[in-house]
Amino acid sequence: MNANTESMARTGKLKIGMYWAASCGGCDISLLEIGPHILELAAAADVVLWPCAADFKYRDVAAYPDQYIDLCFFNGGVRNSEQEEIARLLRRKSKTLVAYGACATDGGIPALANTTTVESIFAASYLDSPSLDNPARVQPQPITACEFGELQIPHFYRHVLRLADIVEVDYQIPGCPPQAERVWTAILALVAGELPARNRAVKVACTDKAVCDECPREKRKVRIKEFRRPHQALAEPGWCLLEQGFICMGPATRSGCGALCINANLPCRGCYGPSGAVTDQGVAMIGALGSILDASTEERARELIDQIVDPVGTFYRFTMASSDLRGSR
Amino acid sequence: MAETHAVQRSSMAPAEAWEPRIIAFLCYWCSYTGADNAGTARLKYPPNVDIIRVMCSGRIDPEFVTTAFAHGADGVMVLGCHIGDCHYIAGNHKTMARMPLLKRTLVDLGMEPERFVHEWVSAAEGEKFARLVRDVTEQVRRLGPLDWPQRLVQRGVGTGMGREAWGH
């Protein structure tokens, strides 16, 4: 136990919560990735809500006094009415509410659904998928009448929203998932009160710079001659992936991960969201790519651009809900 | 991004009096001078275009374009020097790669391609500038209002409670 967690323990046990909304569960796992620190955390803090790991009910949370939870992590975007309700409840019950992970911060992968419609999502999930056996073509309904009365399930929204679209957020920890060592450092800083003012959704457990800043690869100042995807060719280690024609989101992406994918010889996917200098990660990447194409004629530029498969899904893979346009028309 | 995006209402008049609102980014050395040329020659073109002058079309961050649409523009034009004419030698080479890629992205997001126009206008092409403004205004008028801010409000962005839930 270090000095910070000791002071946590002395001043009465901290109450922490972790909630999941429209997410995959990876954020919950990533919190466990702090390894042995989890024991320090358990010694200094009580878990008062963690659907993934402990059996607390919503009514338990509703019964807590306001501001009862000292530190509440919220992972996942807001996709339905249940998630919105809990987001509002947790805001009321928490002193510090942290958007944890790419989905809560920028929409994440689920927010790519903002490029399509609810109708087509439901058709794909319940009607058209080849693995389905649904001859009656049943789809979930918000309200179903049965012999005991009406059954209700949460309403599905037309858009995936970030946590900050719903409630005031104190801090945001980006990443898919956030990297454990940095999360632990941030938890210590949060507990010690060493972080900037609340209610500003300031991004913590990361830096303001771009991933390129912590990328160890060599830049040879060559321009992109051809775009390639990771399954089409093996990247040469040690050389800038963008210069090799792999779309690496490094220039537009916030650093903090330690260039994890890049060190595994794979291009950055952009999970930490826009770097400190930009607000819209996708257009920032378009701007960056535009200045490094090996093209001196319009035809050649167009030829190269046409090689890019799925620009929206590539440039906005994790940030559709925080982009300027927020989704498709 | 520290604060949440404020969703601004477009300053459009009611539907019956709707006029297309087009934002045009013009480079200083060629296209803005071309627009000046149109004025000096007293060429007529519709007043629907708000011109924003930048030093070079290479300075036009694609985010300027998405910001304009997100804040209520019905159309956006990006005009720069012809390839080979750039005052900064290769500034517009960046434009030439960025804008078609941006256009592909906007189209994939469901926007009509006619709403975003990227063209080259030299200092001598006042005629071309006036024609472009006429054409773009007309093609955007035919498409009708884009009204992205209102669309975001309908989808529940930036409004808090009361969003339209699916199935109701």
Domain at A175, CATH number: 3.40.50.700
Residue A318 within any structural domain of the chain: yes
Same domain, residue pair A198 and A212:
no
The tokens of B18 are what?
């709707």
Confidence grade of residue A197 (pLDDT, cut at 50, 70, 90)? confident
Q: Tell me, yes or no, whether A271 and A199 share the same domain.
A: no
Residue A277 is predicted with a pLDDT of 83
Looking at the domain assignment, is residue A196 inside a domain? yes
pLDDT of B4 above 80: no
Q: Measured between alpha carbons, how far is A204 from B32 in angstroms, rounded to an integer?
A: 43
Residues A76-87: tens digit of each pLDDT: 999 999 999 999
| Residues A218 and A186 reside in one and the same domain | no
Section A152-159 average pLDDT: 90
Tell me, yes or no, whether A115 lies in a domain.
Answer: no
- Mean pLDDT in residue range B120-136: 98
For B74-98, write each residue's pLDDT tens digit. 999 999 999 999 999 999 999 999 9
Pairing of β B22-27 and β A149-152: unpaired
pTM strictly above 0.80: yes
Are residue A135 and residue A101 in the same domain, yes or no?
A: no
Band (B6; pLDDT cuts 50, 70, 90): very low
Tell me if A40 is assigned to some domain: yes
Same domain, A76 and A102: yes
Say if A248 falls within a structural domain: yes
Residues 6 or more apart in contact with residue B68 via CB below 8 angstroms: B23, B76
> For residue B162, what pLDDT is reported?
32
Whether A281 and chain B come into contact, CB under 8 Å, resolves to no
Record the tokens describing residue B10, joined without a space: 């477009």
Domain that holds residue A288: 207-329
The mean pLDDT of A288-303, rounded to a whole number, is 95
Radius of gyration, CA atoms only, chain A: 22
Q: Which of A283, A297, A314, A317 to mutate to probe the B interface, most B CBs <10 Å? A: A283
Q: Are residues A287 and A301 in the same domain?
A: yes
pLDDT tops 50 at residue B166: no
- pLDDT in the model for residue A10: 52
Position A200 scores a pLDDT of: 77
Selected residues 97-116 of chain B with any CB under 8 Å from a CB in chain A: 97-102, 104-105, 108-111
pLDDT classification of B1: cutoffs 50, 70, 90: very low
The model's pLDDT over A214-227, given as tens digits with 9 standing for 90+, comes to 999 999 999 999 99
> At A1, which amino acid appears?
M
**Is A229 domain-assigned?**
yes
* Chain B residue with minimum CA distance to A166: B160
Identify all chain B residues contacting A273, using CB atoms and an 8 Å cutoff: 1
- Read off the pLDDT of residues A124-138 as tens digits, 9 standing for 90 and up: 999 999 999 999 999
Q: Does A326 contact chain B (CB < 8 Å)?
A: yes
* Confidence class for position B3, pLDDT limits 50, 70, 90: very low
pLDDT band at B36 (very low <50, low <70, confident <90, very high): very high
* Token pair of A126 as six digits: 């319940």
* Residue A114 domain flag: no
Give how far Cα B29 sits from Cα of A179, A315, B117, Å: 48, 32, 19
CB distance from A118 to chain B under 8 Å? yes
pLDDT of B106 higher than 80 = yes
ipTM, interface predicted TM-score of the complex: 0.90
Mind listing the pLDDT tens digit for each residue in A251-274?
Answer: 999 999 999 999 999 999 999 999
Query: Chain A to chain B, count of Cβ pairs less than 8 Å apart?
Result: 152
Question: For A40-54, how does the pLDDT look when each residue is reduced to its tens digit (9 = 90+)?
Answer: 888 889 999 999 989
Task: Select from B143, B28, B159, B127 the least CA-distant residue to B75.
Answer: B143
Check whether residue A188 and residue A306 sit in a common domain: no
Would you state the pLDDT for residue B158?
A: 59
Can you say whether the dihedral through the CA atoms of A80, A83, A88, A89 is positive or negative?
positive
For tokens 């007043």, the residue is B47
H-assigned helices in chain A: 3-10, 26-32, 37-44, 58-63, 81-93, 102-106, 118-122, 180-191, 260-263, 281-290, 298-306, 311-315
Q: Percentage of chain B with pLDDT > 70?
A: 83
Q: What is the mean pLDDT of residues A207-213?
A: 94
pLDDT of res. A111: 95
Interface test with B, best of A157, A200, A286, A308 (most B CBs within 10 A): A286
> Which of residues A169, A203, A237 is at a domain's end?
A203
- Residue A305 pLDDT greater than 90, yes or no: yes
- Quote the crossing angle between the two packed helices A3-10 and A37-44, to the nearest 10°: 20
pLDDT above 80: residue A94:
yes
Same domain, A187 and A238: no
Do residue A181 and residue A89 come from a single domain? yes
Whether A266 has its CB under 8 Å from any CB of chain B: the answer is: no
Q: Are A232 and A194 members of one domain?
A: no
Q: How far apart are CA A256 and CA A242, in angstroms?
A: 19
Residue A178 lies in a domain: yes
Domains and CATH numbers, chain B: 18-154 (3.40.50.960)
Q: What share of chain B is helix, strand, coil (3-state, %, to 5)?
A: 40, 15, 45
Based on the structure, what is the number of domains in chain A?
3
- Mean pLDDT across chain B: 87
Report the pLDDT value the prediction gives residue B164, as an integer from 0 to 100. 38
The predicted pLDDT at position B9 comes to 43
**Does residue A173 sit in the same domain as residue A272?**
no
Q: Do A124 and A34 fall into the same domain?
A: no
pLDDT of B14 higher than 80: no
